[in-house]
Structure 1
Amino acid sequence: MAPVLETRGLVKRFGGLTATNDVSFRLERGGRHALIGPNGAGKTTFINLLTGVLTPTSGQILLEGKDVTHSRAELRVRRGLARTFQINQLFPAMTPLETIGLAVSERMGGGRDWWRVTGSKREIVDEIVDIARRFHLMDILDERTSNLAYGKQRLLEIAVAFASRPKVLLLDEPAAGVPEAERHELLATVAALPRDVSVLLIEHDMDLVFSFADRISVLVNGALFTEGTVEEVSNDPKVKAVYLGESVYE
C-alpha cells in the first residue's frame, strides 16, 4: 500500500547550514509514527517543510501520492494535512465552543460568518459536541481559552486540528509544558485518536512515544539516523550512543 505521506531526498539549506539532509521518509496509512532526536536535530524544520511553512532546497513531498512540494500551506490543509505547534496558536479571548465552531465552519465553507453558520446548522452543532467529548472539553466549552489549564489548551489545539478532518495529523511536542497532573488525560486522548487519521508525533517525552507509536524514526543533525519498531529503536546501541550524557531519549 502506498504511504499517505512521503518525502524523497528532502534537503533544506540555510546558507551554509544543512538543516534537513537527504531525508526519505514514509508515513503509512493509519500509522502511529514518532520522530525523535536530540535538540537541534532538525525535527521542527522537517515538520515546517511538510506543512509548507518552509520550501525545500531540493527533494519531494508527496501527500497521498500527489506532489505537494511547492503547494501553499492552506492547500495542504485542504488536502488533509493538519498540524499542531510547540507553542499553541489559540485565540485567548475565545471559548472552546467558539474555537471549535470556527474550525468546523471554516472547513464547511462558512468561516466568515461562522457565528451564524454554527447556530443554524445542526450537523455543525453535533460535530462540535462530538469533538468536545472526544477531547474532554465539554465541561469548559464556555470558558475563555486564556483561563483554561494548560493541558486543556493543548487538547483544544489538537481538537482544532482534528476538526479539519485530516488524513495526516502532525503533532509537534503536544506534551511540552503540560504539568504532570494533566499529562495522563492528554496521553490517553492522543492514544485514542481514530485510525483513519495517520499521525506523525514529534516528541521528547518517551512515555508518550512508547504509549503511542508503532514505528520510530530518529533524526540526528538533519539526517535520518535509523528507524524501526519501538522495541528495535529503544534497544539500538547506536541510538543510545547518540543520547549519551542526556537522559536516554531527551
Structure 2
Amino acid sequence: MAAALETRGLVKRFGGLVATDNVTFRLEQGARHALIGPNGAGKTTLINLLTGVLAPTSGQIFLDGVDVTQMPPERRVQRGLARTFQINQLFPAMTPLETIGLAVSERMGGGRDWWRVTGSKREIVDEIVEIAQRFRLTDVLDERTSNLAYGKQRLLEIAVAFACRPRVLLLDEPAAGVPEAERHELLATVAALPRDVSVLLIEHDMDLVFSFADRISVLVNGALFAEGTIEEVSTDPRVRAVYLGENVDE
C-alpha cells in the first residue's frame, strides 16, 4: 500500500543555507505521527514544502502514491492534504457557523454564494452540525470568532481543515498559545480524530506528542536525526541531548 504522504531526498536551499537536508520520510495510512525538533530545525519549512507553499530545490513529494511535487497548494487540498498553522488564519468577524459553512460549501462548489448554498442544502447543514459537535463548538456557533477563547479558536481552525475532508492532516503546533486550562479539550479532540485521516503533528508540547503519536520523527538542522516509537525516541540519548538539552554521555 502506498504511503499516505512520502518524501524522497527532499532538499530546500535558500542561497547557501540548507533548510531541508535530503529528507526521506513516510507517513503511513492512518498514522498518528509527530514531528519534533528544536527551534530552527526546519519543521515549518518542511510543512511548507509538503503543502506546496515552497517549491523544493530537489527531491519528490508523493500523496497517496501520486507525485505532487509540482502541484500548487489548492490542488493538493483537492487531493486530500489539509493543514493548520502556528498562528490561526481565521476571519475574526465571522462566527464558527459561518466559518465552517464557508469551508464545507467551498468544498462542494458553493464558491462566493456559500451563504445561500449553506441554507438551501440539508447535507451542508448536517455536516456543519456534525463537525461542530466533533470539535466541541456547538455552544459557540453564533459567537464572533474574535470573542472565542483561544483554545476554541484553535479547535475551529482544525475543524475548518477537517471540513476539507482530508486524507492527510498536518497540524502545525495546534496547542501553541493555548492556556493550560483549555488544553485538555484540545488534546481530547485531537486524539479522537477518525483513523481514516492520517495525521502528522508538529509540536513542542511533549504531553500532546506522547498522548497522541505512535511514531515520532526528530528533525535537527533540516535533516531527519532519529525516528521510531515513543519509547525508542524518548530514551535515545542523542535525542535527549539535542532536543531536551540534557548532557548524556554517548
Mapping of residues 127-138 of structure 1, within 5 Å: 127-138=127-138
Query: 1:142 maps to what in 2?
Result: 142
Residue type of the partner of 2:84?
T
* CA distance, structure 1, for counterparts of residue 229 and residue 24 of structure 2: 17
Residue type of the partner of 2:55?
T
Where has structure 1 moved over 3 Å in runs of 4 or more?
none
* CA distance, structure 1, for counterparts of residue 128 and residue 241 of structure 2: 46
| TM-score normalised according to structure 2 size | 0.98
Q: CA deviation at 1:111?
A: 2.0
CA deviation vs aligned residue, 1:166-204 (integer Å, no higher than 9, x gap): 000000000000000000000000000000000000000
Q: Note closer, same or farther for the CA distance 1:27–1:144 as it changes in structure 2 (3 Å cut).
A: same
What SS is found at the alignment partner of 2:112?
coil
* CA distance, structure 2, for counterparts of residue 29 and residue 220 of structure 1: 25
User: Considering only aligned residues, what root-mean-square deviation do their CA atoms show, in Å?
Assistant: 1.0
Q: CA deviation at 1:244?
A: 4.9
Mapping of residues 1-250 of structure 1, within 5 Å: 1-245=1-245
* CA distance, structure 2, for counterparts of residue 143 and residue 124 of structure 1: 20
| TM-score normalised according to structure 1 size | 0.98
Residue type of the partner of 2:215?
R
* CA distance, structure 1, for counterparts of residue 4 and residue 213 of structure 2: 16
Q: CA deviation at 1:241?
A: 1.2
Runs of at least 5 residues in structure 2 that lack an aligned partner in the other structure: none
* CA distance, structure 1, for counterparts of residue 165 and residue 46 of structure 2: 22
Percent identity over paired residues: 87
CA deviation vs aligned residue, 1:100-123 (integer Å, no higher than 9, x gap): 000000000002100000000000
Runs of at least 5 residues in structure 1 that lack an aligned partner in the other structure: none
* CA distance, structure 2, for counterparts of residue 236 and residue 2 of structure 1: 29
Q: CA deviation at 1:245?
A: 3.4
* CA distance, structure 1, for counterparts of residue 100 and residue 114 of structure 2: 10
Residue type of the partner of 1:133?
Q
